[in-house]
Amino acid sequence: MPHTTAAVPIARALIRTALSDIDPGAAHGPDRDTAELLTAELVANAVEHTGGRGPIELVVELLPGPGGCQIEVHDSDPGRPGALVCPEPVTEVDPWQEHGCGLLLIRALSSDCGHRPTPHGKAVWFTLPAIPSQRRPAP
């Protein structure tokens, strides 16, 4: 994807398309809305914090067994993303702050998240569990 703000809606559309191929009656699909939201947050962070170098890549992996998915956003900056780990218990988060809540959302809504180095920068990822079929909305 381009290293511009245009990457955010592109990423949302790619996630929507990738996850729409999952059988809606299957018990292994993640929540698509949450996947889109968290992907948009990671892509927006990559655009804002990596200085416009190189493309942004998106990797979606459907997980076997209990299901769910892992989504990775790759960028060319090897620097560690800030605040992806849980904050100290004494750290207060200002919910009215315009910036800084994206990684908080990722930590709160995903079952796991993190980052890892890649040959060309880093990957920041999150995992979403499958939604049990009885909690899925009717088609």
Nearest to 68 by CA among 132, 134, 137: 132
Q: What's residue 138's pLDDT?
A: 57
Which tokens go with 136? 């899925």
Nearest to 53 by CA among 122, 124, 125: 122
All domains in the chain, ordered by first residue = 7-135 (3.30.565.10)
User: b vs e for 70-102, b when ≥16 Cβ sit within 10 Å of the residue's Cβ?
Assistant: bbbbbbbbeeebeebeeeeeeeeeeeeeeeebb
Cβ neighbours of 44 (radius 10 Å): 16
Q: Per residue of the chain (139 residues), what is the pLDDT tens digit?
A: 999 999 999 999 999 999 887 655 555 578 899 999 999 999 999 998 887 678 999 999 988 877 789 999 999 988 887 655 444 444 555 555 555 567 788 888 999 999 999 999 999 999 999 877 655 555 5
Q: What's residue 63's pLDDT?
A: 85
